[in-house]
Structure 1
């Protein structure tokens, strides 16, 4: 059965609102919630970027049922992997074993702030490999020492470990990253509905692993308003992840997207009041083999109406369509 999730987008709402939205989404019937982990918004117009881990701590107490997940945390520069492991174990304990640690190789947008520069992609993947090894060793319990090419660990230990080990999901984009990371993770994260990714991942995990995707939407009773809002806040999305990982700040994304038109955004993101375009945007993910699909409603001030729509009409429609696949 396909599970449908809700995105807590830290770039478009403040921390108190994010916690409130998390509770609304749980009451609306979403199966899980993912949270972005950024230091900057993609564009100045988004206007926010709260600390995801502080928000998650509050969300664990404002919700009771929904699974929670970072989507995604980079455990290599802005955070040291030992700190990520400690944070994840703490959230698992606070949530009553509802947490999955979603990890990725990161973006320059967020990681450059520690002043270490931005390494090339092959180095970032090496760093992620080492971080995954360190986090896994800490989840095993006991003292951990580690000497790698990128990290050294001296007698690290997690003193508060949950009885249920924190599952680790990792972001992949192609054969190289799947081959490298699938053996080190419990679940797959991807932003494109590519059946080949799921097939490659399943060969490592015998088809028993969760595969998690995400779809941005901009629901609004007024389609023109939805298109304007999607263009204002999400035109950065048109660059693709290879570009998006390299740009250093919101000004760079504004410059890179200056010629993206509202109609260009509306061609790739469902905008307006109709449910059918949303279903058609989500459908390729379950057809590709994704088990979990998170919806991202664009616009921090439009979450209440969206969660109400989800409860009354959208989630039942998505579940019915997925069952008919």
Structure 2
């Protein structure tokens, strides 16, 4: 059976609100949470980008049993792998067996802030692989020194460790990254149904498979399209722009190409009919995913909580996701 999660959108909400959304999602009956790790929002309209590791501390204390995944962190530039290892070990200890760690090769939007050269994707994959190796070594609690192609670690040891090591799920969008994800990860993380999961499985990938669905629930579809156009036009940008633009201003300039019709025709679910949401979940399940989490676009999160609790979840229970 598919598990349904809820996105804590760091780009759109301040940290205390994200903690409240986490508790509301747990009360509404969602199976897990995903939270984003950004330094910048995509556009100034979104208006937020709190430090995810601080927010996760609040979420750990405010929730009871719901698993929490970070989707995803880029542990190759803005953070050194040793710092990521310490941050994840602490959060995993606080969440006590319900933390899932997603990693990926990142976007220039977030990583360029430290002033380092932005490598091509093949190099970033190499950096990700080495970073994950370092993180796993440090999670053992042993003293670690490492002198690799991209990173050096000297006499580092973590003293605060979780009882259970969290799984590392690796994000991928193409054949080469899917193969790397299969080699180094404990599961797969993506955004939107795509055939990359098949490549990952063919390469020997095993474990849970996470994907995100973009939705905007409102009383009418026109209202939902308007909200999505105002708050999340970046979802309609083509190709690899999202990985290559450096600032929210650049995204705003690029989003001038996006029309409301593009949002209406995109993969964002804007219908207030619960069956449209069930169909979108079915599409993800058919693509091979067993964890599907929902990103409600815009400021009105409560309307989506009520809609899923009262209408979508009952429809999902009656659906056959075989």
Aligned to 2:129: 129
Distance (Å, rounded) in 1 between the aligned partners of 2:293 and 2:81: 26
Contact 1:43 1:254 in 2 (8 A): yes
Distance (Å, rounded) in 1 between the aligned partners of 2:219 and 2:317: 22
Cα deviation, residue 324, structure 1 = 4.1
224-233 or 11-20, which deviates more: 224-233
Distance (Å, rounded) in 2 between the aligned partners of 1:159 and 1:194: 40
After superposition, where does 1:95-174 map in structure 2 within 5 Å? 95-174=95-174
Q: 2:308 aligns with which of 304, 307, 310?
A: 310
Which structure 2 segments of 5+ residues have no match? none
Aligned to 1:11: 11
Distance (Å, rounded) in 1 between the aligned partners of 2:44 and 2:321: 41
Aligned to 1:270: 269
1:14-49, Cα deviation, whole Å (9 max, x unpaired): 111100000000000111100000111101111111
Helix, strand or coil at the partner of 1:188: strand
Aligned to 2:198: 199
1:46-100, Cα deviation, whole Å (9 max, x unpaired): 1111111110110011111111011111101111111111111111111111001
Aligned to 1:222: 220
Task: Please tell me whether residue 184 in structure 1 is matched to residue 184 in structure 2.
Answer: yes
Aligned to 1:243: 241
Contact 1:38 1:49 in 2 (8 A): yes
1:79-135, Cα deviation, whole Å (9 max, x unpaired): 111111111111111111100111110101111111113221111111111101101
Q: What number of residue pairs does the alignment pair up?
A: 321
Distance (Å, rounded) in 2 between the aligned partners of 1:61 and 1:240: 39
Contact 1:2 1:319 in 2 (8 A): no
Distance (Å, rounded) in 1 between the aligned partners of 2:232 and 2:3: 25
Distance (Å, rounded) in 1 between the aligned partners of 2:3 and 2:321: 14
Cα RMSD, aligned residues only:
1.5
Under a length normalisation based on structure 1, what TM-score does the superposition of the two structures give?
Answer: 0.95
Aligned to 1:287: 286
Distance (Å, rounded) in 2 between the aligned partners of 1:122 and 1:77: 15
Distance (Å, rounded) in 1 between the aligned partners of 2:192 and 2:25: 24
Contact 1:104 1:171 in 2 (8 A): yes
Under a length normalisation based on structure 2, what TM-score does the superposition of the two structures give?
Answer: 0.96
